[in-house]
Every structure is written in C-alpha cells, then in structure tokens.
Structure 1
C-alpha cells in the first residue's frame, strides 16, 4: 500500500535517545474531519491539547526496520478546537534502539537518534484542506523520560515536564530523509556469527506502509490480590496472574523529588521480596520522580512492557493500597473466538494458563517470553503454538504480519533465521524452527481461509524449502540435516525434553513436512507442476528417511519424540503405523503414564495416541499432576505455561521462564479431539465434528466463532448416555463422526443414525448415544 506520508518530514532530535517534539497550529471554524498519519523510529506517543491520540501502545510496532515500518491512522476531530491547538510527540527507544537480546542488550538497529514522521490532515465544510506535517518548523526538547529500555525499565522525571514556554529548552530539529547507519543485529562485534555481516540501515530502502495487524492495547486492568510489606518501606503487590503489561502509579500526596521505584518479577524470594534472577541481565525496574509537594500525581510508562506477576514498590510517599498500583494487561488486540471448559478442573486450569501465555507473548510479534532479556520472535515456539492460537483468537492478521516478518528478514540464499524479525541469533535456522516459514502461513490459511497469506509468502516458503533441498547435506546423504562444522551438533532438537532424542533425523523429518506443505500451497495457488514436484520430493525423502533412521521397528533413539515425528509427518509406512504408535504408548506406560517430550513432540503426543486407539491413555497424560506434566505446572502455582517441565526445581537464574507458550500447544488436542472440531475446507466452510470422550471425563463445552458463525460441540454423560449438542453455522456443512462403542447406537430427533459419517446442514442438533 502506498504511503500517505511525505518522506520530507522525517524529524529527529539531538544525539540523545529521548526527545519530545511540539507544533502549534490554528484550526479554522467549520472543521469536519481531522486525521493524523504517523510513524516513528522507535516508538512514539502523540498528544493534542494534552490529550493522548488513540489508544495504541508501542506504536508503530516491531518490524524488520531494514525493510519496512508501519504507520498508524487516527481520527482526531474530537480533540481539536477552533483557534490555537498544540500537537506534541514523545519518542522512546522501543525495539528500534533500546537494545535487545541477552548479555546486556547490545543488539539493535541503531543507537539513535529517534525519528518521527507525522502528518495531520484537516478537512473543512467548504471542502478545503490543510496539512500540518513534521518538518523544520517543529520544536524539540529532551523529554521527562530520562531513560527507557525495553528490558530494563523507564525512568520519568516529572520535574522536567515542559512548562509551555519557548525558553523551556526547545530547539529546532533536523530533517532527516536519507540517513544510513550500521546495525548490530547480531551483536556489537564485527562477525559474531559465521557468515553474518552487519546490515546497513538505509532510510531510502525502508518502506512506510499502513499497519496491517491489530495494534497493541490495554485489554484489561487488574488490582493486586494482596499487598505485603516484607521489609520496611518495600511493598509487594501480587496481582495473582502472570502477564505482560505495565502498571499505573497513583500517588495521593507527592513529595517533591521523591523517587518511587517499581521492580517487576514473576517470582518471590523466601523473604517475600521480588526475585529477578530469572530475568538475567534485564533490570525490569521503573522509576518515577515526583514534581510537587502534597499534590496527587499519576504516571505510567509509554515505551516498554514488563512480564510480571509481582511488583515491589520502594519509596512510595506513605503506605500504598491496591488502588495506587494498578496492572494493565497489554497485547496485540485480537478478539477471542474459541471457548472451552470441561468437568475436569485441571484441564480448565491448563487451558487458562495457555490462553494467558498467548496474551503475554503477542506484542506485535509472537515472542518466546515477555520478561527476561530475550522476548524475541523465535520461530520454533511460533509454529508449535500457531494452531492452538487460531482456535483461541481471531489472529489471522497477526500471523499474516509475522509471516511477512519472516520473509522480510530472509537471507538472499534462501535460509531463514531462528528469530524474526531477524535479531540476535544468526542464520541459518535450525530444524523445526526454520519450518515455521511454511507451517505458520499454511495453518493460518486452514483456519481462516484467506489464501493471500499463501500468495504473499509462497516465494519465501519455496526459497526455504529449496535451501534445504539443495543443501550440501542433502546432496551428501540424500536428505537434509543441520550440523555445525564438526558435525557434532544438529540443532535444538526436541527442545528441553525430559528424555533427549537424536537431533539429526529432525532435519529430514521437517524437510519432508515442509515439502509436503509447499506442494499443498502450490496446489491451492494453481501451480500444478510445482505441486507435483514437491509432493514427489517429499515421497523421495520419505524413502530415504526410513532407510537411514528406521531399524528394529523403531526410529533412531526409540524415544517418544523419535517415533512421534515420523508418525505425525506421514513418514511411517502404512502397515507400520500401529507398531510405531504402540511403541509410543508403551513408552508412556513405562514412564507411569507420563510424557518425556520437549517443545516439538509435546504438541504431537496426545493427538497421535488418540489417533491410534489410545485415547484413554492420552487423557491420563493430559491430566497428570505429577512431574513431568501440564498439570504439575498448574498444581504448583503456574498461571501461565513454563519454559521447563520443572521450572520450580531448576535454578531460578539462567534459562527459566515462567511464561513460555510452546507447551501451551496441548490445548489443540482439547479442541480437535475432546471437542472434536477441526476444519476440512479452509475457514471451516466444511468441518468435522468428531469428539473423543475419554473414560473419566464427563463433560466438554466448546464454541468457536468461525467466519460463518458459531460452531458448537458440547457433550455430557448423563444416566449412562452420552448427549451431544452441536451447532452448524449458515453456509457450512459438518461431517459428524460419532464416538460409538461396541453395542452402542445413536439417534437424532428420534431417528437412528448409521455408523460412519453423517452430513449435517446448518442448524442446531442433539444426538443421543446409548
């Protein structure tokens, strides 16, 4: 989309990183419409006549700034008045120059300066228009935000707020349209990653395009459930929920120059103070300096977010109450579309944890965690959770945006990066991580039926597949594998499992899966020849995979994960599928009905057990409350998903997040198997209702707001019968597959149903199984 913004308006301030800009202007009578188009490098906040413009946060959002930046559009008619008005802009580092990544946050697109591009268009009743744009007529000054960094905190000195006079430090800005600067995306050194060179940021090569995905907003507020004082003057607010957000600070009676300090954390020490060890180098501390004596003051940060459940407040004038520190939950503002509940409470707790983890890790991009010195767009986490997220939220445009981030960051050779927008971790991507290039757009297409995500990303998808298919390892072994120069490390493997599995075969398994998905995408787009080519390659690599990695009725490693991946990706020969499924089931039983899987295979274990006749065993695994299990997390205080199965037992410092959505992929099984709802045609034009009630579970309620209307699949055991209530929305057809046991029969409105598939037209139905 062509930019509405004039390139000649890029303003920037002095060589500091924190600035505020202002422009006074007059509005004539009979104004009928006023719109602002704005963007920035990094984040910006606009105010008109001291009222905030819009409700977006962290605008313009995180993109691969080397390629594009989004602009936002605001209707500001109601904020203007006839006569003199004032437009103020506050700029902060955000993702642009605040520093990202572990080890101190040295990874960045720029060290400054910050830049603003802004255009206010006024339309009057007589049809005349005026434009007030960012240019050399503006004035700039250092803002009261004296420090901001996404990981470390925001410091605000209210004493430095502008008094509105020209003598208040205002100077003329420089207009900047063609700047270049080296980046340190992969660290401050010349070449910290083999084959990676420092990119050059060039404003002339950066596109300014309209924002595509929903903005980041405050979606709810929370008061603390308790406030304690573990040490004199140290007040700890427990909000009862791990989240991503900020807090609103209210001080009833301020003390001039008093500094109020807020420390954010997921955990507490034994003495009740906040524990920040697992944040690693992230300081996660905000500071506010009061400007008055005895007056009420309020403040909240503008240019960052924290991952937290607890806030420790130090230096508060007096004793705070729950009204003085209010948590604001923020995330990309997608709307809920899926709801689930069950008679087994541990399932409901796990479901809530997964939902909260999604909200905590969707801020412009899908992040791994919201709290420590990382918060990066890891692709492995994204592809594992994408299907679950599509059941939960109207998230189509969010994933479409992320797919473009992957494509924008892609290396010219075709490889993609583990993290997108590319940052911190050099390429090429590792197996199961790089394959998000295909899994994310294909899964999103399946759920929402918009093939534009395939059209826009097909060449990127193809380039990654071709990278694997023509890789040296593929030529050498007949199938792809990732390795380091010494061939001792083969990627991340089934990340953080209970029992490790061989990493080398995972490259080939995902190569087969990605070729298969590319063939499907090519077919959808009418690329028949390419569809045939990649389907044939998937078959060829499947043969080679079985030659190399299958032995003694097991796949190399003989672990749950080693057998689950080929079973999930269609690699196992048909006659051997029951054998491999039994291997998985037997291994689960040998571990007292527990899984041993990591990030990748945990998504697969319950579906494959159910697919091959072990649904009751899958349910036992799903509802375990002892380690390792999802229930173990919930029973031990988790309100979001952990990064490790035993995050409570591992040392707190280091890699130990309490808010990681990869293991939240379990809830896909809730929707697709317990409720039994899944798309057949993209967008649920036709869909399957095939619930799989396990022993010990008495009720499931599920609803999904599809593009055509609500889909409902509710079932309940009552008086020895199973009652199934379903709703099929207009202009769709459902394939009903009933969970009939031997000797059971089913009836619909008094009419007996045959075994097999029944076609249900739009409407609501009650089916009785007895």
Structure 2
C-alpha cells in the first residue's frame, strides 16, 4: 500500500544542510539549498517525512547515490546503494558508498517503509565535492602588498581603499559546466562579464586566517559567454586588514582590548574550471597575469568606521571584456596567509530583509535625522540626484540625545560613517559593499535638496539561515521581548556570533552565547554557524591548552576563565541535543579535554577552581548610574562560579566520553565530578541556614541546577532563591550573565513558574520589560542601559537573555526533547500555564519536522492543539485533575487513536502519543 506522504531531504556535509520538499504522489520538489564544493567525505544524509495519518513511524529506508541524474533515474546507485535497511533512523545517516573525489557531483534519493506503508522514491537532491587536495589548486595568491598615497594604513584609524582585480579570457567551444572557486580576503564581491555572481554579502566567513581560510564555490555555467569573457573581483578589508592599529596609543597590558589583529593587505585566490562537451578542460587561475588597481570608487572601507565611495572614480565596464586597463598595475604574487584552504560549511551573510524608514526630521540646517523604527543591523540603500562632486554623509546611531541629535557615546571610537560622492546627472542608487552598521537612527548631511523617506531603504543583513520558530502569547510584554530578542540575535550573526554590531568591538565573546545558543536554536537553524564557531575556538587554543574569551582571536584575550571558554563544551552539547549532531563532540573532544586538563593543572586546588575574571558579569547594580555593583552582598564568589562550572563541564564530558566509546575517560570525569561536588559543598554549603556562600541567587541557583545540592537540602536552597528574589529584589532579576543562564528554568522546574512569569513581564527596573518600557527594540547590554555610564551601553546585546528564549519554548509552549533523547526523536510536550497568561502559540521546525503547540485557557477549560512530526513520538503532559477529564477532538481521550495513558504526575495527566495532530480539552 502507498500512503500519501512527503519528504524533506537534508544533506549534512560537515553540517552543510540541503533540503528538498517532495510530494509522494505528485513528486514535486522545491530545492532550498544545493551544497557546492564540499571538501568533507563524511557526508550525512537526512530526510523528513510528513503525512496526515497518525502514527507514521519509519521502519526502514533505501538510499541511492549516483554520479549522474540519468543513473539515479534508472535507480542505479553507482556510488552507493544502501539496499533495504531496517531502521527508524532518518537524520544523520552516514554516507557509506565509494570514496568520493574532487569536483564530483553526487545525486541521491530515498524511499522509506513505514507503519502506514511504503513511500515512492523522493525527488533527487545533490551535492558536489570541492577541491580535496592542495594539488588541486593551480591558482596562486595575488594582491597588492602596499598602500597608496590616498590610503593611511598605519594610524590609529586605519584607512585602506578597495582593490579591483580583473582578468580576460576566451572560450571557443560549447561548454558543459563551469565551476569557480574563490577566497577573497578580507571580503570580496565577484563579477563575471559584468554580472554579480551570487547574492552573498561580506563574504567569506571570518576566521583566524593563519589557521583556516574559507573558499566559496559557484556554478557559473550560465554566466560564461562563448568567446570573450572577463572576471572582476573587488576586495575589501573585513577582518583581514585591521580596523585599529594602536600600539603607540595605549600602554602595555591593554593592547588586547584595543588592537584588532592584522593579517596584512587584502589578497585573493581564484580558480575557474571549464569543462567542454568534447571532454576538454580549461582552467583560469589567479596569477600575475591579472591586472589590479586601488584607484577605484571605494576610497576606504572599514567595519568599524564605514565606507567612502566616490562615484566620480567609477570605471564603467571594468568587469566586462574589452575594458582598457593599460594604466592598471600587474597583480603581485603574494604569500598565503598561512591557514588551510577549506570549503566554507556555514552559509554567507545575505540581505535577509528590507525595511522602510518611519520618519525624518530636520535637526539643524542641512542636517536631517531619519528613524528606521527598529534597531537593525545592515546598511542603508540611498537614491539621490545632484551635481557632480556633491557628497552625502550618513552617520549611524542606536539612540538620540534629548535635543534630537545622534547619541554617540556608546559607539565609543567607531566612526560609523558612510560617504557617497555623486557623479552627477541622473538619479543614483548606492549602498556600501564592505561595511555594516548597528543602528536605528541615521544623520543625513549634504543631501541635495530635502531627503524623502521613499529615497531610503534599510537592508537587514545576517547569516543566511532558516527561521524555524514562531512564538506568540496573550501578553504584550512577552511578545515585544521576544521580538526584541529575534532582532538582536539575528543582527549579531556575522559568520560568528558577535556581542554587538555597532561599536568598535563586534567580537565573538564566548560567554555571551553559551546557554543563549540553545534558545536561539528554537528560532533559527543555527547548527552550521555554531559548528563553524567551535572550529574557531579550537583554532584559537594555545599549545598549552588555554582558550581565549574571544574567537576567532582577533583580540589576544587569554584570561583563563572557566566561564567564558565553557561555551566550547556547552555549545557542542547543544548541537548534539538539538540537532542530533555528534560530529562536533567527536571533532573537538581532545581539544576540550586538553583545556580542562590545563585549567585543572594550573588553577585547581583541593578540587576548587581558583581562577575567575568576570564574576556574575553585569548583574543589576544597586544604583542606576553605575555599571558594576559595589555591594558585596550582590556579588557571587568567583571561586564558587568557576568550581560549579568545572563540575558541570565534567559531567558533560563524562557523557561525551561515553558517547565516543572512551570508558576510561568516562570513569575519570565521573570520579572527578564526585570529588569536586564534595569539595564544593564542604566549602560553600552552610547546612545550618542552609544556603551557599553569601546567599546570592546565583550562588544557590548554580549548584541547584547542576545537581550539586545534597537531596535533603534542595527544597531549602530553592526557598532561599525564592525568598531572595521576592523579598530582597521585589520579584525582579538579581543575576548577571552567569545566573541568568539558569534562572527561568530553575524557578519553573522547582514549582515557581509564576515567579518566572512575573520576572518575564516586569516593566520596571531591572527587567527585559524595562528595556521595552524605555523604547528598546533589541536587548540591552546592561539592565540599566539607559542610565549607567554610556560608554558601556550597547543597545543591541543578547547576553542578558540567558535562558529566557529557552523558557519561552520549553516551558510556556512546552516543547522540548524528551529526557535522554536527542534531535527531537522523542519529544516532551509539557506547558507550564500560569495565572495572567491565557494563550500561547508556538511552532518549531525540528530535525524531524514541524512541532506545534497552541494552548488557550478559557474559564476552567484548557484547550491545547499540538502537532507531532512523523517518525517521532511524544510524552504529552496535559494540565488536568484526572485523565478522564480530557477529550481529544470532542471524544473521550480513551477512545482516541494514537494515545496511551501513562498516569498522573502532580497536576498533569501524562500520555504517550504517536505522530499526528491533536486537539485536547481538559477541565479543572
């Protein structure tokens, strides 16, 4: 029997995903992503089954991988024919076929057998291999390792113009295929015969270029012409050529905070491979036959300071054939930056949304302030008409002064200014190429005439990734906080998760994203980005094992904390639990262990970690005008924080060792954890009160959530957390970056979801709602971001979200992995209804498919609609007094298909539920 089902095919190649949507009966396919130029042989294949019937569970699969579509259509898997495999595995299936070679294209499809019958073959998907061997690269690195008279590369505020490269070549026969491989550092824009190739921006992804260099791959078959052709590449500075050179401006010991690492002048490597229908091949490579100029329209570009573009310097046709480049320079052959040339696994940044400004006012004569209505990250596209030589200046900020001018104190020393010089004549349209800004407001000066709203558009840029989650409630404060989080999270996806997008920092601080990455994964498919970031972290590790606080290590910030580098292990665990992705654990296990051994050998005394730098960073201070609390009663002992973290990480490593089949390591970490737990309690647990250390919420919360508290003291320790929160802080947040990672879940898990809800919906200081109350459209860096020292106050920072977004999905909506399961192969659906909240609607596209949870309280009735994906089951916990008081689709639940009663657990009736959609109503 054939059932009506559809598939979404996914290809995981070092975590590059490829999705196909296919219909079994109609055999339709919508290709979302086709990975090109992958240089990993350990491909992993995944698919999603969807269908209307309940209880669809995969029982087996059959995968075919072929070297051509023709063979695949004939059901000939010449690369791999898995045969009929009895298995329910539908994600992360390891390719087990023939060894693949450079440039090879692999076409694949799958069919499955299920409890409801057998499917047809899915529509095909494909991936291609990149250049797997250094010898595959015939191209050479080229550039211009020097500055020009209009540049200023050695001052505090570096200025360097863009480099323009071009190469002409001939094709004279019918082409079959053309593939282009390119790494342009720091950033590139690629043209072929005048056309922009690809829609990526600010590419490639940033790395430590001395360790790894990413290349992008393009199929350019359709852009090549029969006859004359021209390639053009523009190189910007990005993170390659430093934005700041401050050796002579700050004293020793402070350089890491001010200097941004410099890798040299921009350079590129490019290889175009053309295959003709007669089998002959032609290769165009970067070498010293290319021509280059730096005297083009982009006069300066800098991620901190902006871009200056002089349209009078434009070179019409420079990226097309027959352009006269006789006055251009010959490109220099340059040295490689030193890193390994690798295919990029994470998608590039793209323009993901366009927004319109909402207002514009004249602030002074000839100076206008434009409001985008939203703190955004990206750039401004402008249309303007004027005289040749007119110069429009755009300056960006997040907030305004009381007089309506830009508030720049929190931007610090970033210049955040774009300049456009008109060529004159017709209307001109411009947007920058190699910079971006974090802003809501734009100061416009020099604009010919009066600037109009319709002449500007905000281009929102972040890493291309699917939005997988939706969340909405009956509470407007929570809804706005969620929206602020959404804008802040995506605005800080820059090929690495950054701390902020607006000032002279924009770094990948590890501590900011440890637990936060989990909440983010419910909104965005961040698997590829965070897998890449773990590579950055390992590449930043010193030989002795030390890991910095920032990765890639553009700052020399090796402070030997437990808390910030802990993100390395915590995020690897997140990728495993949320995506079923064990590859990062296997890949980085030795490095993680090396770091823990380093910290143990250098900073552990009697099983206590004696090293901490930041404490419970940015906890709410006692006075609104200060950044850091001066009250010892509010501060949590750094030794306690570091030791609790080491204990938690040891337990995670115990699980990793077991997963990887390392029993000796598992025993080692288990015994180490026991000793740390004992020493920790001997040092900090006051059994008479009882409380930990000086009784801060963080001091009690961490051991409680990490399982360090002896069972007989758990209730009393939790009472201290509640008492401190309700009495000393009037039901408000009292934690900083460390404690906030567990606050909302810790309160809810121990019976006080109502207190968590109060904290989430407060509108006065300190709270996320206080930010909303004061006009924030993203998340602040400080709880008192509108009153403390302005130099610290980023208006777009996500670190203080902590576990809030996780709490939205896992507790309010009730969507989470079943305990002990990964990748949502088995789900727990358990909402935490609270007084004051009447409705929650959420969805999450898990690796197995769409999970939905929408509940509504009406009087004594609790109505709940859920969707459980095919090939999964769920443990469903319905708020009810008895199991008999529940109906499903207007009938007694005992009569419903796909549901098995387990029993009562407190105020929940618990059921095992098969895949499908359900409508529950319970009464109290």
- Counterpart Cα distance in 2 of 1:685 and 1:168: 63
Query: Counterpart of 1:679?
Result: 817
- Aligned in 2, Cα 1:467/1:285: closer, same or farther, shift over 3 Å? same
1:506 is the counterpart of 2:641: yes
User: Is 1:170 aligned with 2:328?
Assistant: yes
Match of 1:183 in 2: none
Query: What secondary structure sits across from 2:515 in the alignment?
Result: helix
Q: Aligned with 1:505: secondary structure? A: helix
Shift of 1:689: 0.8
Matches for 1:544-559 after TM superposition, within 5 Å: 544-551=679-686, 552-559=689-696
Alpha carbons 1:647, 1:657 under 8 Å: kept: yes
Report what 1:530 is aligned to: 665
Residue in structure 1 matched with residue 920 of structure 2 by the alignment: 767
CA deviations over 1:620-666 (Å, ceiling 9, x no partner): 111111111111111211111000011111232x1110100112231
Alignment partners' CA distance in 2, 1:136 and 1:428: 44
Residues 715-763 of structure 1: CA deviation (Å, up to 9, x unaligned): 1112420012111111111111233359994344403554143211111
Alpha-carbon offset, residue 276 of structure 1:
1.6
Displacement of 1:225: 0.7
Q: CA deviation at 1:23?
A: 0.7
Is residue 354 from structure 1 mapped to residue 485 from structure 2 by the alignment? Answer: yes
Whether the 8 Å contact between 2:143 and 2:265 is mirrored in structure 1 is yes
Change (3 A) 1:535 1:740: farther
What secondary structure does 2:748 align onto? Answer: helix
Kept in 2, the 8 Å contact 1:747–1:767? The answer is: yes
1:380 paired residue among 511, 514, 532: 511
Distance in 2 (CA, whole Å) between partners of 1:100 and 1:750 is: 69
Partner of 2:370: 237
Aligned residue in 2 for 1:755: 904
Q: Which residue of 1 aligns with 2:412?
A: 280
2:309 to 120, 131, 156: 156
Q: Which residue of 1 aligns with 2:360?
A: 227
- Superposition map of 1:133-212 within 5 A: 133-142=285-294, 143-163=296-316, 164=318, 166=324, 169-177=327-335, 203=337, 205-212=338-345
Question: Which of 707, 713, 725 is 1:588 aligned to?
Answer: 725
Paired position in structure 1 for 2:547: 416
Moved over 6 A (4+): 101-105
Selected match of 1:453 from 584, 601, 605: 584
Match of 2:391 among 259, 274, 279: 259
Q: 1:114 to 1:468 in 2, by over 3 A?
A: same
- 8 Å Cα contact 2:840-2:855 kept in structure 1: yes
Taking a change above 3 Å as real, the CA distance of residues 82 and 709 of structure 1, as seen in their structure-2 partners, is same
Query: Which residue in 1 is equivalent to 2:186?
Result: 42
In structure 2, how many angstroms separate the alpha carbons of the residues matched to 1:533 and 1:108? Answer: 40
Distance 1:371 1:741, change over 3 A: farther
Matches within 5 A, 1:471-490: 471=602, 473-474=603-604, 476-482=605-611, 490=612
Does the CA contact (< 8 Å) of 1:715 and 1:723 recur in 2? yes
Instruction: Please state how far the C-alpha of 1:94 moved relative to its aligned partner.
Output: 0.3
Of residues 454-463 and 361-370 in structure 1, the stretch that sits farther from structure 2 once superposed is 454-463
- Relative distance call for 1:228 and 1:3 in structure 2 (3 A) is farther
Distance 2:857 2:740 in 1: 29
In the alignment, is the contact (CA less than 8 A) between 2:357 and 2:457 conserved in 1? yes
State how many pairs are aligned.
Answer: 733
Aligned-CA RMSD value: 1.9
- In the other structure, the counterpart of 2:266 is 114
Distance (Å, rounded) in 2 between the aligned partners of 1:295 and 1:381 = 47
Distance, in Å, in 1 between the alignment partners of 2:144 and 2:228 is 24
TM-score w.r.t. the length of structure 1 is 0.92
Give the whole-Å Cα distance in 2 for the aligned partners of 1:584 and 1:742: 32
Tell me whether 1:126 sits opposite 2:285 in the alignment.
no
Measure the CA separation in 2 of the matches of 1:425 and 1:120.
37
CA deviations over 1:591-619 (Å, ceiling 9, x no partner): 22112111121221111111111111211
* 1:642 alignment counterpart: 780
Task: Give the 3-state SS of the residue equivalent to 1:730 in structure 2.
Answer: strand
1:522 shift after superposition: 1.2
The one of 72, 75, 93 aligned to 2:237? 93
Aligned counterparts of 2:258 and 2:592: Cα–Cα separation in 1: 31
**Alpha-carbon distance change, 100 to 402 in structure 1, aligned in 2, over 3 angstroms:** farther
- Asked whether the 8 Å contact 1:3–1:209 carries over to 2, the reply is no
Match of 1:96, SS?
coil
Q: Retained in 2: the 8 A contact 1:738–1:755?
A: no
Aligned-partner SS, 1:79: coil
Q: What SS does the aligned partner of 1:704 have? A: strand
C-alpha contact (below 8 Å) 2:298/2:308 kept by paired residues: yes
Judged with a 3 Å threshold, the aligned counterparts in structure 2 of structure 1 residues 40 and 7 are, in CA distance, closer, same or farther, namely: farther
Give the distance between the partners of 2:206 and 2:137, measured in 1 at CA: 21
Check conservation: 2:395, 2:418, Cα contact below 8 A.
yes
Quick check: 2:209–2:263 contact (8 Å CA) kept in 1?
no
The separation in 2 between residues aligned to 1:169 and 1:299, in whole angstroms, is 27
**Alpha-carbon distance, 1:113 to partner:** 1.9
Q: Please give the alpha-carbon distance, in whole angstroms, between the structure 1 residues aligned to 2:171 and 2:577.
A: 49
Distance 1:98 1:314 in 2: 28
Partner secondary structure for residue 329 of structure 2 = coil
Retained in 1: the 8 A contact 2:379–2:459?
A: yes
- Aligned equivalent of 1:20: 164
The structure that is helix-richer by fraction is 1
Distance 1:111 1:68, change over 3 A: closer
Rounded Cα–Cα distance in structure 2 between residues aligned with 1:316 and 1:50: 29
Asked if the contact 1:225/1:240 (under 8 Å) is kept, the reply is yes
CA contact 2:560–2:599 (8 Å) conserved in 1? no
Q: Name the residue aligned to 1:197.
A: none
- 2:35 alignment partner in structure 1: none
Structure 2 unmatched runs, 5+:
1-38, 40-131, 148-159, 251-256, 621-633, 895-900
Aligned to 1:658: 795
SS state of the match for residue 618, structure 1?
helix
Corresponding residue SS for 1:363: coil
1:154 counterpart SS class: strand
Match of 1:60 among 204, 218, 223: 204
Q: Is the 8 A contact 1:8 1:177 kept in 2?
A: no
Aligned to 1:389: 520
Pairing partner for 2:876 from 703, 726, 736:
736
Once residues 168 and 221 of structure 1 are traced to their aligned partners in structure 2, the CA distance between those partners, rounded to angstroms, is 40
User: Displacement, 1:106?
Assistant: 5.7
CA distance in 1: counterparts of 2:218 and 2:882, whole angstroms: 62
CA distance in 1, matches of 2:258, 2:726: 47
Maintained 8 Å contact 1:162/1:168:
no
State whether residues 101 and 424 of structure 1, in contact with CA within 8 Å, keep that contact through their aligned partners in structure 2.
no
CA shift digits 1:422-463 (9 cap, x unpaired): 122421332320101100111111000011111111112111
User: Which piece of structure 1 moves more, 94-103 or 444-453?
Assistant: 94-103
| 3-state SS, counterpart of residue 533 of structure 1 | helix
Q: 1:441 aligns with which of 563, 566, 572?
A: 572
Contact 1:21 1:90 survives alignment (8 Å): yes
Query: Which position in structure 1 is the counterpart of 2:447?
Result: 316
Bigger shift: 328-337 or 421-430? 421-430
Please state if 1:519 is matched with 2:654: yes
Shift of 1:521: 1.1
Within the candidate set 609, 614, 622, 1:492 is matched to 614
